[in-house]
Amino acid sequence: MKLNDKSIKKNYGMLGKNDLHENRASEGNNLMGGLGGGVLGKMIGGAMNMLETEIKKEMQKNNGSENIQGKNFDLYINGKRVSPENIKISNKIQEKEKEIKLPENFSKNDFKKFSSLDKKSPETGVRRLSDRIIYEIKVPGLKSIKQVNMTKVNDVFELKLLTEKEAYFKNISINFPLLSYKVEENDLILEFETKE
């Protein structure tokens, strides 16, 4: 076939059928060999392997710790340098460790009993101190923390309280960490920390 053939130009545009095929065949013989193979691909693969090896060596040297003391680095956000003095580090792990374990004491039988009884809303008193909020939840017949099941979903503490004959339900919407809880003279006392 000739490149000047009108049917080829008509069907394949300006390049023609053979031109496109020849260009694809010559890519394999090219010095770079395309993205996936050839010299360039081998060079990039080798550089990545070397970088990975160096990172592993550096981590082993530091025993896997992330110690950056004595190292210089700059932080850029959206192309602007951020000064180290303006960086505030929030330690969310320590905050999580400060949170106490909620009393989740109900057995399967307790949940069955709780669901079968009519729920009452307990009388609740709230006191605010300088750095704390104290909830006093009055439940006649409450003798032990084992009668309390408490869960937290987002900023809502859900309380289920079960006495011999009655079931109580209370939601407390509060965005402060729970410091302590105890049962004292038919009261469930919850103490929340308000300082940051």
- CATH number of the domain that residue 171 is part of: 2.60.40.790
Using the predicted structure, report yes or no on whether residue 160 has a pLDDT greater than 90.
yes
Per the domain annotation, does 71 fall within a domain?
A: no
Q: What is the mean pLDDT of the chain?
A: 75
Per the domain annotation, does 92 fall within a domain?
A: no
Classify 145 as helix, strand or coil: helix
Using the predicted structure, report yes or no on whether residue 26 has a pLDDT greater than 60.
no
Least confident stretch, 10-19, 58-67, 176-185? 10-19
Nearest one of 130, 128, 104, 125 to 172, comparing CA atoms: 125
Structural domains in the chain (count)? 2
Q: Work out whether strand 119-120 and strand 167-173 pair parallel, antiparallel, or are unpaired.
A: parallel
Percent of the chain scored above 90 by pLDDT?
20
Instruction: Write the DSSP assignment of 44-92 as a string of letters.
Output: HHHHHHHHHHHHHHHHHHTTT----TT----EEETTEEEPGGG-----H
Per the domain annotation, does 150 fall within a domain?
A: yes
Whether the model clears a pTM of 0.85, i.e. scores above it, the answer is: no
Where helices occur in the chain by DSSP H, the ranges are 6-12, 17-27, 38-61, 92-98, 108-116
Q: Which pLDDT belongs to residue 23?
A: 46
Query: Is the CB of residue 144 less than 8 Å from the CB of residue 65?
Result: no
Domain co-membership, 31 together with 108: no
Instruction: Show the domain range for 48.
Output: 6-61
Using the predicted structure, report yes or no on whether residue 88 has a pLDDT greater than 90.
no
- As a dihedral over the C-alpha atoms of residue 174, residue 180, residue 181, residue 185, rounded to 10 degrees, the angle is -120
Bridge partner residues of 156 (DSSP): 153, 173
Using the predicted structure, report yes or no on whether residue 175 has a pLDDT greater than 80.
yes
Per the domain annotation, does 95 fall within a domain?
A: no
Domain co-membership, 107 together with 170: yes
Whole-angstrom distance, CA of residue 21 vs CA of residue 15: 10
Per the domain annotation, does 79 fall within a domain?
A: no
Q: Which residue has the higher pLDDT, 84 or 171?
A: 171
Domain co-membership, 109 together with 42: no
Percent of the chain scored above 70 by pLDDT?
65
Per the domain annotation, does 149 fall within a domain?
A: yes
Per the domain annotation, does 84 fall within a domain?
A: no
